Amino acid sequence: MLTVIVFLPLVAAAALALVRVSDRTARWAWVAATVADLALVTALCVGYETPADGGLAYEVQARWIPSVNSSYHVGVDGLSLPLVALTAIVFCACAVYSLREDRRPRQLAALFLALQATCLGLFVAQDLILFFLFFDLSIVGMYAAIAGWGHGEQRGRSALQFFLYTFLGSLALLLGFIGLYLAADPHTFDIPELVAAAPLADSPVAGGFVLAALLVGLAIKTPTVPFHTWLPPAHTDASAIGSAVLAAVLLKMGTYGFVRIAMPAMPDAWQGAAWIVLAVGVVSVLYGALVALAQTDLKRMIAYTSINHMGYVLVAVGAAGLVGSGTAARELAVTGAVTQMVSHGLLTGALFLLAGVLHQRTGSYAMGEYGGLARPAPVLAGLFAVAAFGSLGIPALSGFVAEFQVFAGSIGATAWAAIALPGILLTAALFLRALQRVFTGETRGRSVGFADVRAVQAGPVIGLLLLSLAVGVAPWPLLDVITPATSLVVELVSR
């Protein structure tokens, strides 16, 4: 079933690329493919039962490259299933949002369906080569999305910067994967086998170098300070759906790599680097929020909040490596980290789709050029306010559940994690400032005559926000899936 979920979008992409159909047919075929994939993922979630002893559900393994002991190995657990579901939801939302897209819709649909396949493939991959393959292909897909369907004169430059930066990260990641492969006896790229063996446990120097390569590769993709410079221009010049997918799904590839590969496969090295990861997380939280607060461009502001929110994840996984602290607190921190990945995907995806409405109407993200927008566009203002309040951690939305767990668990592991707490206050300030500047006061500037958000744009955003509300009000179904897997990660890191 996982194979069908991964490759269904790719088959649809190939069909759209090869068969000339009308623009209207291409748009609806894109929606149909994503809805079908989402239905399969929903069935996957309904039938999911937590595997015993750290196993995998819906596991498939077949011969692929036997000469290096690499196989087509896929499966899901509590770490990957929420991200598979998030990917299917976000891409479906983007397909519906693009029903009025008039810039080469057939090619756009084919590109995003192919990109969806790479994202799903990465989250189900249980082999390092397979993981790396999907990781690199996602870079190519996003490069094409920014360069081909972005806006602004600098989109080509932003796309190139994104590609070179993240491709450099993938090379560091490959170096780390080769190090793990060579250290394993027998040599293998199979992730469960590497996690069980922890091949560099007795080699602190080699383990340090391999973990450093993995950390650099994953930190660039996340991104964290100081590897974040590609993110603001990429978001600024990407289309609305490009930014939504980049923030909601592609950034999670880095944070997912921490909990799937780096932490459980290299427990000793992770323990040794835990304070560094924690410190980078704290800096990312505060730096991202402070720089976001200084932005006058709405989209760049949202982009910098992604650095801030991904910093929370690093704080949590760093705290999880402090073995001398309480196990329950570290498990709570990692559970919060995975919940934060899901919450950020839903809320920031919604924010970028809403920001895209501004650019489609007026061609500008400059907050100073708007004012009193809530009067001519009350639906847009209401949806943006809900997404903003969710991102700043208001109770009843998913952001609160995620951040509460991250900080409760991290501070339970070490009081130093409390240094990141002002990041929540700064996030609240920057979102309230944006709401005040763009939506309140006298209607002026580009807000005059602004048409409210259309139903085809509001629908996907409402869907994302309702899911965030569901997680915020009744988080237990999601946490019941995540917690067993995060407990196992903490147990493996504590070896």
Q: What is the pLDDT of residues 342-389, one digit of tens each?
A: 999 999 999 999 999 998 888 889 998 998 999 999 999 999 999 999
**Whether residue 324 has pLDDT greater than 80:** no
> Which residue type sits at 151?
H
pLDDT band, very low/low/confident/very high, at 204 (cuts 50, 70, 90): confident
Provide mean pLDDT across the span 95-102. Answer: 90
Res 283: pLDDT: 94
pLDDT band, very low/low/confident/very high, at 231 (cuts 50, 70, 90): confident
Res 226: pLDDT: 87
What are the pLDDT digits (tens) for 237-287? 899 999 999 999 999 999 999 999 999 999 999 999 999 999 999 999 999
Provide mean pLDDT across the span 118-122. Answer: 96
**Whether residue 16 has pLDDT greater than 90:** yes
Res 55: pLDDT: 86
Res 54: pLDDT: 74
Determine phi and psi for 353, rounding to 5 degrees. Answer: -65, -40
**Residue keyed to tokens 């603001």:** 232
73, two tokens: 């190995």
Question: Who contacts 388 (Cβ-Cβ below 8 Å, separation ≥6)?
Answer: 351, 431, 432, 434, 435
The answer to whether 283 and 317 are in contact (CB under 8 A) is no
**Whether residue 400 has pLDDT greater than 90:** yes
The answer to whether 306 and 344 are in contact (CB under 8 A) is yes
**Whether residue 475 has pLDDT greater than 80:** yes
Q: Where are the alpha helices (DSSP H) in 320-421?
A: 327-362, 378-391, 398-413
Tell me the average pLDDT of the chain.
92
Task: Compute the CA torsion angle 319, 321, 323, 325 (nearest 10 deg).
Answer: 0
Res 389: pLDDT: 92
Question: Who contacts 342 (Cβ-Cβ below 8 Å, separation ≥6)?
Answer: 82, 83, 86, 398, 402, 471, 478
**Whether residue 7 has pLDDT greater than 90:** yes
DSSP symbol at 238: S
Res 302: pLDDT: 93
Strands 57-65, 70-76: pairing is: antiparallel
411, two tokens: 């501070």
Res 487: pLDDT: 92
Provide mean pLDDT across the span 18-42. Answer: 94
Provide mean pLDDT across the span 194-207. Answer: 88
Parent domain of 426:
1-494
**Whether residue 165 has pLDDT greater than 80:** yes
DSSP letter string, 108-155: HHHHHHHHHHHHHHHHHB-BHHHHHHHHHHHHHHHHHHHHHH--STTH
Pick 494 or 122 by higher pLDDT: 122
What are the pLDDT digits (tens) for 166-191? 999 999 999 999 999 999 989 999 99
The total number of structural domains in the chain stands at: 1
The answer to whether 8 and 22 are in contact (CB under 8 A) is no
Straight-line distance from the first to the last Cα atom of the chain, in angstroms, rounded to the nearest whole number: 34
Provide mean pLDDT across the span 69-85. Answer: 94
